[in-house]
Amino acid sequence: MLITSKARRLAYCAYIIAVFILSTGAFLTIIAGSSDPEVLKAGTPITKCAWIGIYFISLVRVFHKRDWAAQILKNNLPLVALLALASLSYLWSISPGATFRAVVQLLLTTCVAMDFCLSMPLESQLDLAAIALGFVIAASVFLQLFLPSYVAIPMQSDPSASSVGWCGVFGTKNEFGKTIVVALALFLSMPFVRRRLSVILTASAIVLSHLAMATGSELNDVFLWTVSLILPIIHWKPRPRMLAIISMFLIAMVVAGAAFTNAATATQALGKDSTLTGRGPLWKLSLQYFRERPMLGHGWEAFWAQDSPDAIRIGQALNWPDVPHSHNQYIEILLGLGIAGLCVYFWLLADFLRKALRYARDLERRDRRWPLLLLAMVTVMFTTEAGAVSRGGIVWLLFSSAVFSMTAAEEELPDAASPQIEETLELETVGA
């Protein structure tokens, strides 16, 4: 019976690692045999069946703990409001079918995050996520160096294809870069409980930083600078730390707004392409269409649907067929949910910051850094990329799981599975 119990716990840990790997979008180009964005967005029969199984398992597990799940949701009104507004946008969506599919998958992905929260503490989730991302990055480096024929070739119609950078097992360098940045934040938030582990984690962080630069993605440079500023502040006393982080957040918003309105000057000062590999004109055209429906938007993920005439016109104007998104999370929300959605999203970020500051009060536990690093990544990195609130995406999976886990820690909800999972991880460590 004891062996069966341990095997079951190990199987669940393996399952979570597999979910994290799948949520990165890794190996899709190899499975699909194409780097076409539309093909990758639609997925393959294998990945679709895998996600159906994951969603079913999560729904069953959350249903068995529905009372705890309801209590956690009750204390996360901003996240619930964002999901509710996205769901209601079906009523005014320009592409109801695309909105319905996107909302259902977003809700189910959030359910997966709830299952993780109810099954193990946040620290254990991060351990498993680090294993998953480490595997994906190692596979990417191996393919890039030794099997380059399996590496995806960016579509030539994509303006970003002119930028040289590693893609690894992903369809684009931006996806690979985003995965590296998430992994870097995870490694920096892990506790250095042993000197040998400390050396390994430090070396891993250095390697990941160099890999982030190797992708040639601008968003990695921005995030690395942000992390270098935030990490020292985390060790300050609670009140100065709170004031410093809030001030940095406000300053970042002002600087981002100024840089957005004066993109040519800002990018020239940084030595980057003034169009940010086509993003500048894309943002300008996207905001023009946002003004057509400023309050409630065009419907969640409806603007870039295949049958959207506005998206087709933008692609034709930029000579960029099949534009996947606006490459800016804030513009994406404006297009999908309008000003109302952006206000709710800022409410969610502010509530996350409040929870993260309270969660980081225990400075003796270095893993408490993770929510603040995650928030920095979501707010800063996704000014040049979309996918922070994405169905089946690892960033949304980690973000919503962190929100739920911090709430569970505040409410001190009982979790019988947590000690078991922690025991399993300790046994694995000892065995290693």
What 3-state DSSP class applies to 45? helix
List pLDDT tens digits, range 226-274: 666 666 666 666 667 667 767 766 766 666 555 555 555 555 554 555 4
List pLDDT tens digits, range 320-365: 777 778 888 889 999 999 999 999 999 999 999 889 888 877 655 6
Is the pLDDT at 94 greater than 70? The verdict is yes
Q: What is the pLDDT of residue 430?
A: 39
276 phi-psi bin (left φ>0, alpha ψ -120 to 50, beta other): left
Q: What is the pLDDT of residue 74?
A: 93
* Residue type at position 272: K
Q: What is the pLDDT of residue 179?
A: 83
Query: Whose CA is closest to 346, among 71, 103, 85, 75?
Result: 85
The torsion angle over the Cα atoms of residues 102, 108, 114 and 116, rounded to 10 degrees, is -110
How far apart, in Å, do the first and last CA atoms of the chain sit? 24
- Distance of alpha carbon 427 from alpha carbon 423, whole angstroms: 6
List pLDDT tens digits, range 300-320: 999 988 888 888 888 888 887
Q: What is the pLDDT of residue 425?
A: 43
* Residue type at position 330: Y
Q: What is the pLDDT of residue 152?
A: 58
User: What does the pLDDT average to over 146-170?
Assistant: 61
Q: What is the pLDDT of residue 212?
A: 53
List pLDDT tens digits, range 183-210: 877 877 766 544 444 455 555 555 555 5
For residue 1, give the H/E element and its range. none
Domain ranges of the chain: 2-431
Percent of the chain, pLDDT > 70?
67
Q: What is the pLDDT of residue 306?
A: 81
Sign, CA dihedral 202-184-115-347, equals: positive
Q: What is the pLDDT of residue 317?
A: 86
Sign, CA dihedral 425-204-26-372, equals: positive
Count the neighbouring beta carbons within 10 Å of the beta carbon of residue 2.
6
Distance of CA 112 to the CA centre of its chain: 14
Q: What is the pLDDT of residue 75?
A: 93
Q: What is the pLDDT of residue 53?
A: 95
List pLDDT tens digits, range 34-61: 666 666 666 778 888 999 999 999 999 9
Tokens 């595997």: give the residue. 135
Q: Using alpha carbons only, how large is the chain's radius of gyration in Å?
A: 21
Is the pLDDT at 432 greater than 60? The verdict is no
* Residue type at position 145: L
- Distance of alpha carbon 48 from alpha carbon 37, whole angstroms: 16
Sign, CA dihedral 337-313-163-174, equals: positive
What is the pTM assigned to this prediction? 0.82
- Distance of alpha carbon 358 from alpha carbon 224, whole angstroms: 24
Which residues, in sequence order, are CB contacts of 62 under 8 Å at separation 6+?
69, 111, 114, 115, 118
Which residues, in sequence order, are CB contacts of 348 under 8 Å at separation 6+?
78, 79, 81, 82
DSSP string, 366-430: GGGGHHHHHHHIIIIITTS---TT-TT-HHHHHHHHHHHHHHHHHHT---THHHHHHHHHHHHHH
Is the pLDDT at 30 greater than 90? The verdict is no
